[in-house]
A and B are shown apart, each in its own frame.
Chain A
């Protein structure tokens, strides 16, 4: 049993590693040819990279918000989730950083942000706060997993973690607010320019963060991940149901405010989401990604079943990803000055004497965006890197538990206990 699990684990790591390598290969090609290998243009100047970046920052912040609030708000049941939460937070923020590097045209100049940075820029704040956030996350990982701290008494470690949580909770809230402000402070994009942007980003972050914790709990239920037993998972389930409602409410307020007035560029973007070409994403998100998981989580017969809960976790993560698309893309797809012929797209077609065929004009007042193979491969590579780090980190969590048991520290409930509880 153990050896087969080990083999599955190895195969999984191998697969993820291969995907990271493939993504890196595509990235080298992108470095050589420039960002013209992507589907972006001068109108839709941010695409899949930034959408996935925002999604990963959300996952990360969600994981850390859940695990830090356990200490700050003294929710005993959540405390045991903290090690897995930290692993998710660190892995996802590394993935987010990788995607930012993939998105910029001159990655070798990235430290210009620190060297000659302008601190009115939300992107500069984000760079700084993400660096601090990563440092805090790695520090907490060190406390959880290093042998030095193993020897210490459980109480002393607990006290340090509680102190760290008071620091990491505001940082986690800040890191995602600032990511929201990259969009929410732009007066030039009426669809983004709203005070609700940060609250919406944080509520979605918690939804997706809880989602990934539930998925990890499901995947690891046989092995028994310490901290994700039946009792704690039930707390997560209740929290997730609540945050789904909050998230829906905030998003509704935002769309309703813009749509009610009507006639503005923002309202145009809303109609693009509600009934236009982005509508399939919205309705899939609302029905399959939010309503279905909500009923899974409140239904008595499904809320205790690990399979159903894991499925709900996957669905809410998909929903939050679609929501990122639906927040970021419409800001670009509607322009303040839609007069013809529009903006030069930055793309050109080799002269064939048929410039005006196939709808590919050198100028466009409204454009579409579809990610290319390069973008998809690089993004999947980054996600595979996240999965690799999470797998490795969860492995550390399991080891930590057995050793903690050995040293008679009862901080985390034992693995055998958990698997028994969940499988019941």
Chain B
């Protein structure tokens, strides 16, 4: 069976530190203003930093690192008029920067807002040229084209893991072959009932989220009743 690369994010382990987003930005030399990876917070106050109160009266905040979902049925691939966005055999939704005309049809098509556009000439601080930070294998991109998470295809092609996976200090990210029933990622998917985002749209993402197994404080229920009366 062919490979189907996927990513699983353990939301129980994720501490919302943004390391995966920052390492992604550095390794891939992403211009200022654009991020391929971002950490959304589910259940929060206005600024996203103060947790809401859960059913048991405890603070509740779940982090959702969000990048390209590398959908099997990718709307962006269908929408791209030039074939610049395409599916690789191993399941990565890749981008050919030389073919891209910058029409942004893929950005309109993406339900996850994972795609970013180089509105001007990408400016990097620190930059790859001056500070030698980042991966030399990643092609540099001009202005006027669309880019997004590539699962670090340059690293994956050399048998390495994506930068966000190796860099995660909480070890919350697992990268592997979804078609291999013995891989750690498929084991976690089974055990934790991992879900995809916006599954109802039928895009079949290959990025899975393992929701936190919450231990509700039972004393709250026994002592004061379910609604805290």
Contact = CB atoms under 8 A, between A and B. Distances in A.
Interface of A: 33-36, 38, 40-43, 45-46, 100, 103-107, 109-110, 112-113, 116-118, 120-124, 127, 182-183, 186-189, 331-332, 335-337, 339-348, 362-363
A342 B34 CA distance: 12
A305 B31 CA distance: 59
Interface in B49-97: 64, 66, 75, 77-84
A113 B101 contact: yes
A41 B145 CA distance: 13
Interface in B155-207: 197-198, 201-203
B126 interface: no
Contacts of B105: 121-123, 182
B104 A33 contact: no
Contacts of A123: 79, 81, 103, 105
The 10 closest A-B pairs by CB, nearest first: A105-B102, A105-B144, A188-B111, A340-B48, A36-B120, A348-B33, A124-B81, A34-B143, A339-B40, A344-B35
Contacts of B119: 34-36, 38, 40-41, 346-347
Contacts of A33: 120
A105 B34 contact: no
Given A36-B119, A337-B40, A105 B101 contact: yes
A348 B125 CA distance: 12
Contact of A340 (B40, B99, B102, B144): B40
Contacts of B102: 35, 104-106
Contact of A118 (B33, B66, B81, B110): B81
B107 A45 contact: yes
B71 to A, nearest CB: 10
B117 A189 contact: no
**Which of A103, A106, A109, A363 has the most C-beta atoms of chain B within 10 angstroms of its own C-beta?**
A106
A104 to B, nearest CB: 5
B13 interface: no
A279 to B, nearest CB: 23
Contacts of B33: 344-348, 362
B32 interface: yes
9 contacts: A106-B145, A120-B78, A188-B109, A189-B109, A337-B40, A340-B41, A341-B38, A347-B33, A347-B119
B3 interface: no
B140 interface: no
Interface of B: 32-35, 38, 40-42, 44, 46-48, 64, 66, 75, 77-84, 99-105, 107-113, 115-121, 123, 143-146, 197-198, 201-203
A117 B38 contact: no
Contacts of A124: 81-82
A36 B34 CA distance: 13
Contacts of B146: 105
A33 B142 CA distance: 12
A109 B99 CA distance: 7
A343 B113 CA distance: 7
B82 A112 contact: yes
B46 to A, nearest CB: 8
B48 A337 contact: no
Contacts of B116: 42, 344, 346
A45 B104 contact: yes
A121 B112 contact: no
Contact of A34 (B35, B121, B202): B121
A327 to B, nearest CB: 13
**Which of B35, B198, B202 has the most C-beta atoms of chain A within 10 angstroms of its own C-beta?**
B35
A112 B99 contact: yes
Contact of B115 (A42, A105, A183, A348): A42
B144 to A, nearest CB: 3
Given A105-B103, A183-B108, A336-B111, 13 more contacts: A36-B120, A105-B101, A105-B143, A105-B144, A109-B100, A117-B82, A122-B105, A186-B75, A186-B79, A339-B44, A340-B44, A341-B41, A347-B119
Given A104-B101, A187-B203, A343-B38, A117 B117 contact: no
Given A106-B145, A123-B105, A345-B33, A35 B38 contact: no
Contact of A121 (B79, B110, B115, B203): B79
Nearest to B66: A337
Nearest to B98: A109
A188 B144 contact: no
A188 B201 contact: yes
A122 B81 CA distance: 7
Nearest to B198: A336
Nearest to A331: B108
B75 to A, nearest CB: 5
B31 to A, nearest CB: 8
A103 B103 CA distance: 7
B118 A34 contact: yes
A386 to B, nearest CB: 22
Contacts of B108: 45-46, 182-183, 186, 188-189, 331-332
